[in-house]
């Protein structure tokens, strides 16, 4: 009887070993499959974007560049210098990208426009450094070429006046309509009220980016390309207070150190301690739409540069209100975590 038990036990052990070997083989196969199968995150398509900017005057353009480079959801096809002293703007983009290790990203340049018209508060930074490129492609040709190469896949983010955009429409409106959409910071649409009830309401008025190229804005709003608009209504409240600045600049990365230096240069020039981050909301609203909910409106630009709600089928998705605290938290977390 004891011998039978030993035989039975041996059989059980052999079966267990066989099952164990099969299990190990199955586990090994499963691990191999996990290693060879791309993750969902890796498979998610990145949003192709080009940023057209008047960087160097106000500080918010530099903060927008940092957000774009800190966001893996974006595939940045290029940057474009627009309006005013575009050669110096291109140099500033060259230096920022070089210092952040992204000299692989093209920097295009639009035609200079009345270079003495506006203050270039970050000129010392733009004209320093070791990363200035010997040449820059033409902005109009660069964006249109990318639209043709990736039809209905490229989002143009325009965060300055619109001479480059108007020139694109003039040169090849069909190619311009191959853009997926255009996202702009621009316009003033409804009366803005002070949430604390201290300051007087601010009536709609010609906003800087629109009024400095009214014709370009009119062409864009009539182009038929899907349009997303971030006006003063939802961006003038984005004050980067001292707590947010301290949290950002204390991080000590190359990106945040660059922003800290540019902020200091800007604040010394303007005698202002608190920047308004108008332009980064264009990108933040794409990354986290809850920060700036969109409303369908029909917008037109009059000959004085006013951006108006008018009768007609919607031609733009417009953010009229934003959550400033949530935006600042999102911005600081994103730029300090990449």
pLDDT of residue 2: 43
pLDDT over 80 at 40, yes or no: no
pLDDT of residue 199: 87
Q: What percent of the chain has pLDDT over 70?
A: 86
pLDDT over 50 at 13, yes or no: no
Concatenating the DSSP letter of every residue in 92-148 gives HHHHHHHHTT-TTS-EEEPPP--TTSS--TTHHHHT-SS---S---BHHHHHHHHHH
Rounded CA separation 47/104 (Å): 18
Residue 10 pLDDT grade (very low, low, confident, very high; cuts 50, 70, 90)? very low
Mean pLDDT of 70-81: 98
pLDDT of residue 7: 38
Mean pLDDT of 230-236: 98
Q: Tell me the C-alpha to C-alpha distance, in Å, between residue 256 and each of 63, 178, 181.
A: 9, 35, 30
Those residues with Cβ within 8 angstroms of residue 99's Cβ, 6 or more apart along the chain or in another chain? 129, 131, 254, 258
pLDDT over 50 at 8, yes or no: no
Residue 242 has phi, psi (to 5 degrees) of -60, -35
Contact status, residue 303 vs residue 223, Cβ threshold 8 Å: no
pLDDT over 90 at 35, yes or no: no
CA angle 149, 60, 113 (to 5 degrees): 65
Contact status, residue 322 vs residue 330, Cβ threshold 8 Å: no
The mean pLDDT value of the chain amounts to: 89
Mean pLDDT of 69-90: 97
pLDDT over 80 at 194, yes or no: yes
pLDDT of residue 196: 78
Mean pLDDT of 52-57: 97
pLDDT of residue 127: 95
Rounded CA separation 103/95 (Å): 9
Rounded CA separation 66/335 (Å): 7
| Largest interatomic CA distance in the chain | 106
The pTM (predicted TM-score) of the whole model is 0.87
pLDDT of residue 56: 97
Choose between 40 and 315: higher pLDDT: 315
CA quadruple 175, 176, 182, 188: dihedral, nearest 10: -170
pLDDT over 80 at 37, yes or no: no
**Neighbour tally for 205: CB within 10 Å:** 14
* The pair of three-digit structure tokens given for residue 275, joined into one six-digit string: 């920047």
pLDDT of residue 258: 97
| Lowest model confidence (mean pLDDT) among 11-15, 51-55, 184-188, 193-197 | 11-15
Give CATH for domain 42-336.
3.90.245.10
pLDDT over 80 at 329, yes or no: yes
Q: What percent of the chain has pLDDT over 90?
A: 82
């Amino acid at each position: 009887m004891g011998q039978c038990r030993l035989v039975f036990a041996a059989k059980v052990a052999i079966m267990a070993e066989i099952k164990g070997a099969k299990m190990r083989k199955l586990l090994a196969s499963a691990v191999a499959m996990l290693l060879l199968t791309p993750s969902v995150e890796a498979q998610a398509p990145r949003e192709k974007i080009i940023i057209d900017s008047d960087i160097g005057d106000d500080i918010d353009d530099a903060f927008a560049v940092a957000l774009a480079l800190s966001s893996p959801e974006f595939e940045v096809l290029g940057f474009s210098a627009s309006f005013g002293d575009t050669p110096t703007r291109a140099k500033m983009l060259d230096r920022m990208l070089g210092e952040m290790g992204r000299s692989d990203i093209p920097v295009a340049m639009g035609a200079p426009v009345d270079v003495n018209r506006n203050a270039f508060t970050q000129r010392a930074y733009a004209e320093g450094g070791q990363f200035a490129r010997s040449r820059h492609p033409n902005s109009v040709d660069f964006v249109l070429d990318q639209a043709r190469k990736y039809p209905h896949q490229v989002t143009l983010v325009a965060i300055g006046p619109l001479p480059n955009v108007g020139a694109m429409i003039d040169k090849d409106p069909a190619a311009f309509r191959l853009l997926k959409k255009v996202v702009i910071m621009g316009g003033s649409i409804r009366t803005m009220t002070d949430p604390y009830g201290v300051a007087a309401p601010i009536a709609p008025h010609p906003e800087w980016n629109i009024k400095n190229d009214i014709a370009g804005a009119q062409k864009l709003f009539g182009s038929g390309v899907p349009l997303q608009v971030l006006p003063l209504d939802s961006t003038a409240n984005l004050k980067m207070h001292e707590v947010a600045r301290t949290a950002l600049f204390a991080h000590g990365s190359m990106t945040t150190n660059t922003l800290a230096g540019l902020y200091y240069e800007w604040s010394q020039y303007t005698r202002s301690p608190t920047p308004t981050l108008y332009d980064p909301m264009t990108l933040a609203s794409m990354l986290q739409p809850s920060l700036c909910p969109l409303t369908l409106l029909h917008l037109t630009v009059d000959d004085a540069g006013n951006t108006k709600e008018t009768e007609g089928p919607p031609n733009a998705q417009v953010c009229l209100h934003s959550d400033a605290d949530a935006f600042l938290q999102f911005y600081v977390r994103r730029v300090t975590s990449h």
